[in-house]
Amino acid sequence: MGTNRSYPSDLTERLLAGVPPDARDAIVAGSRTRTVRSGEVLFRTGEPAELLFVLRKGRVQFSRESRSGHEIVMGILGPGDVFGIGSILTQRVHYLGTAQALDHGEVLVWTRETILALNDRYPQLSENALFVALRYAAEFADRHERLVTVTAEQRLVGALTRLGVRNGVRTPTGIEIRIKNEQLASLADVSPFTASRLLQQWERDGVLHKGRGFVRIICPEKFPLD
């Protein structure tokens, strides 16, 4: 099996919630710690779901590629996030997106075989996975609702604030988000041009500061409301 004997404070909380400490040890012991380089692809859309991941350090982009070639970013994952959940199923399924590291980082990895055996002993695993899966479903549903109801500007505001809360880091001058225009645009379902223009405008209004590869939100309450 694996090589881990200890587990990080609560970075596996989503997967191991409600699991007693000794069982946690056993489960984490079945994983392998793996470091990933920036840009490394962990799996691709449509591949059989053979591995389960918990992100420890760094960020991972979850995306799809449309046949017209352009990338649809479905989410930016951060430490603690669980992905590759299909691997917990006895029935084989396929990954529904591509996972690609955005930074140098670290993940816990279980093989399907291992996680299935563990789930046999600790069925709480699949229950927790169900919780995670439902959260993903809810996120997709929310995003879809926004896409068909609100304007491009409102979607961009929403995407920025969500990113700020989940992936932003506090700095003396505001909340900094490491993201490129193109990713941000895709997350908000807006063209990169529209994203650029709106960011531009908000920078003039003193709401945020931006540079290549990042946005720093200075004054979130000054975002347009309606």
Nearest CB to a second copy, comparing residues 112 and 210: 112
List 2, 79, 80, 192, residue binding DNA (CB under 7 A): 192
Nearest one of 95, 118, 140 to 16, comparing CA atoms: 118
96 binds, among a second copy, DNA, none (CB under 5 to 8 A by kind): a second copy
| Least gap, CB of 162 to a second copy (angstroms) | 16
Is 193 a binding residue for DNA by CB under 7 A? The answer is yes
Subset of 163-182 contacting DNA (CB under 7 A): 180-182
Is 193 a binding residue for a second copy by CB under 8 A? The answer is no
90 binds, among DNA, a second copy, none (CB under 5 to 8 A by kind): a second copy
Which residues have C-beta within 8 Å of that of residue 114, sequence separation ≥ 6?
A: 1, 2, 30, 31
Nearest one of 59, 38, 35, 94 to 187, comparing CA atoms: 59
Nearest one of 119, 123, 121 to 87, comparing CA atoms: 119
Q: Does the CA dihedral 125-126-129-130 come out positive or negative?
A: negative
Both structure tokens of 105: 């980082």
| Least gap, CB of 211 to DNA (angstroms) | 5
**At 193, which amino acid appears?**
F
Residue with tokens 């506090």: 170
Nearest CB to DNA, comparing residues 35 and 151: 151
List 5, 91, 211, 226, residue binding DNA (CB under 7 A): 211
Q: What is the DSSP string of 115-159?
A: HHHHHHH-THHHHHHHHHHHHHHHHHHHHHHHHHHS-HHHHHHHH
- How many Cβ atoms from other residues are within 10 Å of residue 209's Cβ? 16
Is 209 a binding residue for DNA by CB under 7 A? The answer is no
| Least gap, CB of 182 to a second copy (angstroms) | 14
How many residues bind DNA (CB under 7 A)? The answer is: 20
- How many Cβ atoms from other residues are within 10 Å of residue 195's Cβ? 24
Interface region with DNA, contact rule CB under 7 A, candidates 5-13, 19-27, 76-84, 195-203? 195-203
| Least gap, CB of 154 to a second copy (angstroms) | 12
Binding residues for a second copy (CB under 8 A): 17-18, 64, 66-68, 70, 72, 74, 85-86, 88-91, 93, 96-97, 119, 123, 126-127, 129-131, 133-134, 136-138, 140-141, 143-145, 147-149, 189
